[in-house]
Every structure is written in C-alpha cells, then in structure tokens.
Amino acid sequence: LPLAPDGTTPVRVLTIAGTDSGGGAGIQADSRTMAMCGVHACVAVAAVTVQNSVGVSGFHEIPPEIVAAQVRSVVGDIGIGAAKTGMLASSSIIEAVAAVCTEVGIGKDQPVPLLVDPVCASMHGDPLLHPEALDAVRNTLIPIATVVTPNLDEVRLITGIDVVDDRTARQAAEALFALGAKWSLVKGGHLRTSTSSTDLLFDGDKFLEFTSPRIDTGNDHGGGDTLGAAIVCALANGYSVPDAVEFGKDWVTRCLAASYDLGAGHGPASPLW
C-alpha cells in the first residue's frame, strides 16, 4: 500500500475490538498490521482480555457508552477511511457500536466501509462473546457490515451451517449475505483437509475464490485479525472489496510464513517487519 511521505498525515483506520495482553491477537494484531501497512491505527477498546500464548483466562468488558464515545471522539477529530470490529463481548456493546457507527457514517451504504469480524471464541475455544449475543451479531451487527469475515467455527454458530466442502461454503456465504452484509467472506483456513486455504467471497450475485498455500505453522494466533486488518487498510486506500481481500489474503500468507515462536503456545500470526 502507498506510504504517506514523511511529515504528511497518513491514511487512518479504526479498530473496535478487544486487547490481548500477550500481544498476539485482537487490537495488538490489528494495530501492528495497520502500522506495517503504512496506516495510522485508531483504537476503540471494547474489552480487555487476560491472555497469553496458551489461552484466554478472562476478560473485562468496557461500558458500552465508553466504547461508543471512543468511536465518536476519533471520527470527529481524526477522521477515518475504514473501520473494523473484532471482539465485542456482549449484546449491549454490539448494540452501542452499531448505533454509533450508523450515527457517524460507518457501515455499508455509508461513507466509511465497515469490516465485521464476528469474533466468538479464541482458537483454544475460550469464549470471547457471550452466547446470548449471537442474536445481536445476526440482527444488529452483520446488517451494517460492508463485509463480514467469519471463520468456519463462527459460520457454524451464526448460520448453523457446517462447512465441509465448496457446496456448503457457498451455502454459508449466501446465508451470511441474507443476514444483510453487503459482502460475505467465508474464511476456509480452518478446514484442515487441504494443502491450500481458500476463502470464498460473495456479494449476492457472484462467488469469488481466493486460494493461497497452507502455511504449516503453529504460530497463527490472531491470523483472522491480521487478515481483517490488512483488508481494512486496503479499503481505506480505496481498494474495492475483492481487491482488498486479495491484498489481505496475500498479506496474511506472507505473515504466517514469517511468524515467530512466543511462549509455550501459539506465537502471533503477524511478525515484525
């Protein structure tokens, strides 16, 4: 992506998500990726997780009005070219985020595109979203998404569809589109039966496939965040959704190939360049 010349204001983006004390996923992965993409990252913290490379042992939710106030504060002064949601923890935070996004012009058919990563759990299965908040994800968050980017576990929770092959992936992409997202991206990276990783993008009309080689690494913590953050940076630079997904897919593949060990568990999917 183009870099702003020294001393000039770069493109800005906003991530509304949870922190990771281990520096691997969530807001830490987002802001690291955004900086590496030459974009200034604004952050609205929705939850603070107690987390390391082994797992998430707890989280603290930020009051919904404080989450919304962070968004309002940033957009009014700094201005942003695209935004992303990650871990939002609860239905009351989701409702506050959806309302403030609509208020300030973030979302599909609004000036600022919104990528919704409907984070439900960590890769270790630790919950990051209260189960009763799934209705708010379906009815409040996905309907304002320019693009929604669930992994296969999230697809199952949100749509009830178990993606096992191309046919079920298409069904899932259609079901997500039917919930109101302008584009749906079904991330196939967790389908471990293949030597490649295919993500399926759908806009209600055409299906586009993005395939990359599977990178055999255990250092993949925050891989979904890294992909989403790179897509958001490309959107803020004026890329179309398909071009932004192509950029993000290539970005996360190169990141996984360069990722490093950290702690006793999974190192971060995003390296340091």
Note the residues at the interface with ligand PLP (CB under 6 A).
17-18, 20, 25-26, 49, 51, 56, 86-87, 119, 122-123, 128, 221-225
CB of 144 to ligand PLP, least distance (A): 19
For ligand PLP, the nearest residue by Cβ is 26
Closest CB to ligand PLP among 10 and 253? 253
Whichever of 18 and 188 has its CB closer to ligand PLP, that residue is 18
Smallest gap from Cβ 76 to ligand PLP, in A, equals: 25
Angstrom distance (rounded) from CA 187 to CA 191: 9
Least Cβ distance, residue 72 to ligand PLP (angstroms): 22
State the nearest-atom distance from the C-beta of 268 to ligand PLP, in Å: 9
* Sign of torsion over alpha carbons 121, 93, 114, 34: negative
Q: For helices 241-257 and 223-236, give the axis angle rounded to 10 degrees.
A: 140
- What is the rounded distance in angstroms from the CA atom of residue 139 to the CA atom of residue 43? 24
Name which of 10 and 47 has its Cβ closer to ligand PLP.
Answer: 47
**Local structure of residue 38 (DSSP, 8 states):** T
Measure the CA–CA gap between 181 and 33, rounded to whole angstroms: 24
For the record, the structure tokens of 166 come out as 């191309």
Rounded Cα gap, residues 77 and 111, in angstroms = 16
> In 3D, which of 140, 35, 43 has the Cα closest to residue 86?
43
Q: Which residues contact 228 (CB under 8 A, 6 or more apart)?
A: 30, 84, 86, 115, 117, 149, 248
Indicate the residue among 51 and 70 with the shorter CB distance to ligand PLP.
Answer: 51
CB of 29 to ligand PLP, least distance (A): 8
Nearer to ligand PLP, 35 or 121 (CB): 121
Distance (Å, whole) CA 235 – CA 241: 7
CB of 146 to ligand PLP, least distance (A): 18
**Nearer to ligand PLP (CB atom), residue 10 or residue 70:** 70
